[in-house]
Structure 1
Amino acid sequence: MLARDFGFLQGEALVKFYESSPGTHRGFCGVCGSPIFSKFDDDKSGYGLPLGGLDSDPGVKPELHVYVSSKAPWHDIADRLPKYDEDA
């Protein structure tokens, strides 16, 4: 998600960040612990957004799969989208 397209309607002060790996900051609700979004030191133009937290269709479809060499062994990718072992 582009950072310029993201904004809080309320509750911004409740978001707490944790640096999960160098340069990656994961934001969680400070009350319930739900993941909200991730920020990246090396790319301030975009945020990582966990799609499981959305209430409605985001209006976009997946275009590819990245880090497939690290996927859970029980997860089968059943579509024909391009697959990459690393970031695309």
Structure 2
Amino acid sequence: MYDGSCLCQKIHYQLTQEPGDFGYCHCVSCRKASGSAHAANAPVMRKNFHLLAGAAELREFESSPGMIRAFCSNCGSPIYAFRTERPELLGIRLGTLDTPFSKQAKEHRYVAEKATWETIEDQLPQYAGPPH
């Protein structure tokens, strides 16, 4: 099991599934939602995401058509995102995990939208948009 929380500790959740393989997303929306050069999001089935505290603080926002992002309304921490065509699959924001997570990223996606000030120096595959 994996535990996670937001910055202000009002939202607490538990995953009863190990997050899947992940990559770094450099799209404009992920950059703005994370406040950084990219976001690290790993897939988890919604049935394995359990909100333990903070239901009153959890908000969802449709950042673009069909993309829903959930965050803490108190501190702003992003918690997960999902696409409306696949609501059973959440993209957990790995920065909110409290339990150590040792998987490594598999790719960079949406590098066509990456920040001009970011240099990617690793050898991971890069995709201009979604992975092929």
TM-score (norm 2): 0.59
Q: Which runs of 5+ in 1 are unaligned?
A: none
Q: 1:75 to 1:56 in 2, by over 3 A?
A: farther
Runs of 4+ in 1 over 4 A off after TM superposition: none
Note the 1:36-51 alignment, pairs <5 A. Answer: 36-51=79-94
Select which of 17, 20, 25 maps to 2:63: 20
Displacement of 1:58:
2.1
Give the 3-state SS of the residue equivalent to 1:69 in structure 2. helix
Q: Counterparts of 1:57 and 1:82 in 2: how far apart (Å)?
A: 25
Structure 2: any 5+ residue segments left out of the alignment?
A: 1-42
Give the secondary-structure state (helix, strand or coil) at the position aligned to 1:49: strand
Structure (1/2) with the larger strand percentage? 2
Q: Cα deviation per residue 1:19-59 (whole Å; 9 max; x = unaligned)?
A: 11011111111222221111210222321222222234323
Q: Larger relative CO (CA 8 A, sep 6+): 1 or 2?
A: 2
What RMSD in Å do the two structures reach over aligned CA positions? 1.6
TM-score normalised by the chain length of structure 1 = 0.84
